[in-house]
Amino acid sequence: MMNVKRIIKSFALVSASLAFMPLAGVAAEAAAGVASMVAGAAAAPTGGAVAAQPAVAVNPAGPDDSYGHKMCGNLRAYPWTDRKRPALTEAPEGYAPFHMEHYSRHGSRWLIGGDDYLTPVRNLEKAERAGLLTPLGEKTLDALRDIQKASVNRLGELSDKGAVQHQGIGRRMALNFPEIFNENSVVDAKATVVIRCILSMLNGVEGIRDVAPGVFPTTDASYADMWFMNYDDKPAWKFKDYADTTVLKQYKERVMTSDGYLDRLVSDPKFARDSVAPGIMPYLYWVLANTQSHTGQPWLLEEVFSPEELKENWLAGNATWFIHGGNTELTKHRLPYVQRNLLGRMIERTDSAIASGNPSANLRYGHDGILLNIITLMELGGYGEEINDLDQLDALGWHDYDIIPMAGNLQLVFYRPVDGGDDVLVKALINEREVTMPGTPVSGPYYRWSELRKYYLDKLAAFREP
């Protein structure tokens, strides 16, 4: 058992109020990674949460401040960090919340590969040596160099904004559902064995305790739980890989036709296309898109890329994520079922919560691919509808930026009659917004759990490999 009465200095994350937390069972390599990042004892501000730094003018604080932020797809920063949260519908009369099942993506992070940062620098340096950079090209290269230097030994790690995102989500969960998060609650939090997910979990729990200090969650990150936290469903990937190399490849070639960004950065069109363009994408786009994940990094994406180019890049990325998790004949409807173990686990833990009578929550912190596929498997928000034409995704509202932004999350909130009856209701929130579920609601976003439970168990029982 580990006493966490230290702050993760690298991100100014976790305050002294985490002293209670038993980080039991953390896999050795993940624990070692966290330990290497923990600075000596440091006191946190009163109230336990470290406030977000004000955003600089060149990088808007909220991703909804521009069209470009949404066009970053799964690199979009969480939309409710600096904005008023969505309103929630009151529960039917006589019902109160008592349990939550949750899965969240880690918060904003650094890009994962070193070449992600190095490639655009090296390519633009060719034009610099030839004296062919435009003023915007010089400005962009200077920014890319600074960002690349800052990324050294940070690849894949949680950013400062990622910490703030999960603190805020945790606080709002406790504020929205005090009946679930109180001194009588049994709260269990798990993370995948990746540092950014472990730190996201710690910050999420910190946010909960900032509002409900009587909550004492257990925390864990272990390979023993990866069968439902981050299942590697190898038979499913062959369907994805085939679609990637056929229909998705053809779609990308058709929609990604603009390269005007090269002329904004390099003054010689032929040199730009012969010497700078090869290999620079998608890395240039990724680095500029991901600056929204960091306080103080410049927002140049909408200067470098036109609205049309932004849309083309987003269409390609959105289709990629649809192939990864959408319900489609293009992958034989197989990919949502990658998360069948997670759905079964959620049902099992809900059964236990109903039987126990105690307020409770099971919190899980992992990755975008898992979050997407559990949402499509459960057919939440209409995202489980079958779509077989990639050209229809945008018009039908299948938008990755609304499903799996950084710190994207699913909250299943369960309600029972205050008079002790057993007619349990449930509602689903994707990124803190109420969404539809399969079947007919009892009222507003509230559905009868007994009906949904049967529907999901029947769906899982009927699963067969294509």
Residue 317 lies in a domain: no
Residues 188, 69 within the same domain: yes
The 3 state secondary structure assigned to 4-33 is CCCCCCCCCCECHHHHHCCEECCCHHHHHH
Q: What is the pLDDT of residue 82?
A: 67
Q: How far apart, in whole angstroms, are the C-alpha atoms of residue 407 and residue 206?
A: 15
Q: Assess contact for 322 and 387: CB atoms under 8 A.
A: yes
Domain edge (last residue) among 287, 304, 321: 304
276 and 424 both lie in a single domain = no
Pairing verdict, β 218-220 and 447-448: unpaired
* Peptide bond connecting 282 to the previous residue in cis, omega within 30 degrees of 0: yes
Q: What domain count does the chain have?
A: 2
d(CA 400, CA 73): 5
pLDDT tens, 321-335?
999 999 999 999 999
What is the residue range of 131's domain?
114-155+259-304
H/E stretch holding 362 = strand 360-366
User: Average per-residue pLDDT in the chain?
Assistant: 88
List pLDDT tens digits, range 420-443: 889 999 999 999 999 999 999 999
DSSP 274-328: IIISTTTTTHHHHHHHGGGGSTT----HHHHS-HHHHHHHHHHHHHHHHHHH---
Same domain, 415 and 349: yes
Same domain, 359 and 437: yes
Is 170 found in the same domain as 72? Answer: yes
In-domain check, residue 312: no
Average pLDDT for residues 123-149, to the nearest whole number?
Answer: 98
CA end-to-end distance (rounded Å), the chain: 44
Regarding whether 76 and 215 lie in a shared domain, the answer is yes
Read off the pLDDT of each residue in 90-106 and give the average, rounded to a whole number: 98
Look at the pTM and tell me if it is higher than 0.85: yes
Q: What is the pLDDT of residue 125?
A: 98
The pLDDT of residue 159 is above 50: yes
* 280 within domain boundaries: yes
**% residues pLDDT > 70 (the chain):** 86
pLDDT, tens digit, for every residue of 16-64? 233 223 333 333 333 333 333 322 222 232 233 322 322 222 333 444 4
Same domain membership, residue 419 and residue 401: yes
Residues 225, 199 share a domain = yes
Same-domain pairing of 292 and 184: no
Question: Residue written as tokens 């999420």?
Answer: 204
CB distance 48 to 14 below 8 Å: no
Least confident of 1-10, 160-169, 187-196: 1-10
Same domain as 441, residue 344: yes
166 and 131 in one domain?
no
Whether residue 359 is predicted with pLDDT greater than 50 in this model: the reply is yes
- Whether residue 316 is contained in a domain is answered as no
388: CATH? 3.40.50.1240
Whether residue 430 sits in one domain with residue 391: yes
Look at residue 457 and tell me if it is in a domain.
yes
